[in-house]
Amino acid sequence: MEAIQVGLLGLGTVGSGVVTIIKEHQDKLVHLVGCPVEVKKVLVREKEKERQVAVGQDLLTTSPYEVIHDKDIDVIIEVMGGIEQTKEYLLEAVKEKKHVVTANKDLMALYGSELLAAATENGCDLFYEASVAGGIPILRSLVDGLASDRITKMMGIVNGTTNFILTKMSKHGSAYSEVLKEAQELGYAESDPTADVEGLDAARKMAIMARLGFSMNVDLDDVKVKGISAVTDDDISYSKRLGYTMKLIGIAQRENGRIEVSVEPTLLPDYHPLASVSDEYNAVYVYGEAVGETMFYGPGAGSLPTATAVVSDLVGVLKNMRLGVNGRSAVAPQFDKQLKHPEETFAQQFLRIHVKDEVGSFAKITSLFSERSVSFEKILQLPLKEKGLAEIVIVTHRASQKDFAEILEQLNNLEVVEQLKSTYRVEGNGY
């Protein structure tokens, strides 16, 4: 049996995991695809660097084109990261008739449509399961397992760093800055954590999921994004008092052919299954018209969980090679993209307001809500240490994004309102 040769772009955490799995699971790979699988060339920055996995020096190269142009290599696995230059490498790879497996969510969120079109044009596969939620097979489930259903909503925790931070803040009452530092020391957060804590990483994943789940060309710019860096221990304390747990939640929803996609800190009832997803774990709810609710849970990052998704994609490519059907799996979007308008987007809302502690203050505030037929589900009113001020915490019933934005604008201009402290979306109450 002649071996299938694989080229690897990158030998960091995930790349090392890929090499480990290919070596240690060789018997299963032979059983699944009918021949051995070998890593022939690996792109690295430094050949002499000490590594997590043993790889022969003769396999290492610092030239990407030595991998891409190798005539014996059938599949390129990209786990090096980067966007613009990496895109050029992968476009060159499919022109060379190499199949591609990538774990690069940033690249696929921005250039997925272009890369998939180029792969199809050249009769190549381009698979990217590992780009979303690490070891959870969510993309494959959307494309294959739920192919016959019509997806109406996807909601979940798709960033382990922010989930670790919010878990620590909630369980131990720690300040955001302290937990972020701990996450960096443990390797859960980068030295520059912006992409994680400001919601950009999760937004890229939600764009990819929405594109597949709704069969529309959803772009990163279509995702409404709000991060967790402004979340305070007071926000978490009040939410817990009202029976909620805060999570950074990605939501993609479709109604009447129009979609909304967002990533933002969200309050979930303590009894909601996503509320119990702790630390670096990910979980995604998928709602289908036929199947109802399904939930996918598991490690969202890490060497071997992510590498498992990469090698599973590799197996898919190799099976297609055996059947002679490479380049036929990518399906063009079925629907034109139609985004919901603010008046069509509804959610419950949590808000904290500091007001002047005087007769009539609360009545003036409630009148702004009642004018737009927005009612309250829960209310707390508490005195503050600052003399003459009180804090009001409100959870509304469902309100349109348009109405709520107008209410906030008027609250900011109301003479009795000292400061609008925070607002968060509320999900999972069954409304």
The pLDDT value recorded for residue 430 is 60
Given 205, 226, 247, 340, which residue is catalytic?
205
Gyration radius of the chain over CA positions: 24
Whether 108 is in a domain gets the answer: yes
Q: Is residue 234 part of a domain?
A: yes
The pLDDT tens digits of the residues spanning 215-263 come to: 999 999 999 999 999 999 999 999 999 999 999 999 999 999 999 999 9
282, 248 contact by CB (below 8 A): no
Contact 190, 246 (CB under 8 A): no
How much is the mean pLDDT over the chain? 93
265: how many CB neighbours lie within 10 A of its CB?
Answer: 25
Percent above pLDDT 70 for the chain:
99
| Contact status, residue 274 vs residue 283, Cβ threshold 8 Å | yes
Is the same domain home to 236 and 310?
A: no
pLDDT value of position 144:
86
In the chain, % of residues over pLDDT 90: 79
pLDDT at 184: 87
**Number of folded domains in the chain?**
3
Instruction: Report the run of H or E that residue 424 belongs to, with start and end.
Output: strand 417-426
- Domain assignment of residue 52, yes or no: yes
What are the DSSP calls for 312-366, one per residue?
HHHHHHHHHHHHT-TT------SS---BPPGGG-EEEEEEEEEEE-STTHHHHHH
Residue 346 dihedral angles phi and psi, to the nearest 5°: -120, 145
Residue 332 in any domain: the answer is no
Domain of residue 411, CATH code = 3.30.70.260
DSSP structural state of residue 222: G
Do 286 and 142 fall into the same domain?
yes
The pLDDT score that the predictor gives to residue 431 is 44
Cβ atoms of 126 and 119 closer than 8 Å: yes
Query: Domain for residue 176, yes or no?
Result: yes
Determine the Cα–Cα distance for residues 60 and 198; give it in Å rounded to an integer: 36
Answer yes or no: are the C-beta atoms of 212 and 139 closer than 8 Å.
yes
Contact 314, 306 (CB under 8 A): no
Q: Are 78 and 89 in contact (CB under 8 A)?
A: yes
- Cα–Cα distance between 223 and 208 in angstroms, integer? 11
Q: Give the residue numbers spanning the domain of 249.
A: 138-299
Q: Is the pLDDT of residue 300 over 90?
A: no
What pLDDT, in 10s, does the model give residues 173-222?
Answer: 888 999 999 988 887 788 899 999 999 999 999 999 999 999 999 999 99
State pLDDT tens for residues 339-388.
999 999 999 999 999 999 888 888 999 999 999 999 999 999 888 887 88
Residue-wise pLDDT tens digits, 7-36: 999 999 899 999 999 999 999 999 999 999
Distance of CA 402 to the CA centre of its chain: 26
Token pair of 374 as six digits:
């927005």
Give the pLDDT of residue 342.
95
- Catalytic, 421? Answer no
Cα 343 to Cα 360: distance, rounded to the nearest angstrom = 30
- At position 108, the amino acid (one-letter code) is M
Residue 318 has pLDDT above 90, yes or no: yes
Question: Do 283 and 314 have their domain in common?
Answer: no
Task: Answer whether residue 331 is part of any domain.
Answer: no
In a domain, 431, yes or no: no
Rounded Cα distance, 401 and 310, in Å: 39
The pLDDT of residue 199: 97
Same structural domain for residues 181 and 292?
yes
| Alpha-carbon span 249 to 244, nearest angstrom | 14
Residue 140 pLDDT greater than 90, yes or no: no
Q: Do 11 and 43 belong to one domain?
A: yes
Q: Would the pLDDT of 301 be above 80? A: no
Instruction: Provide the pLDDT for residue 1.
Output: 65
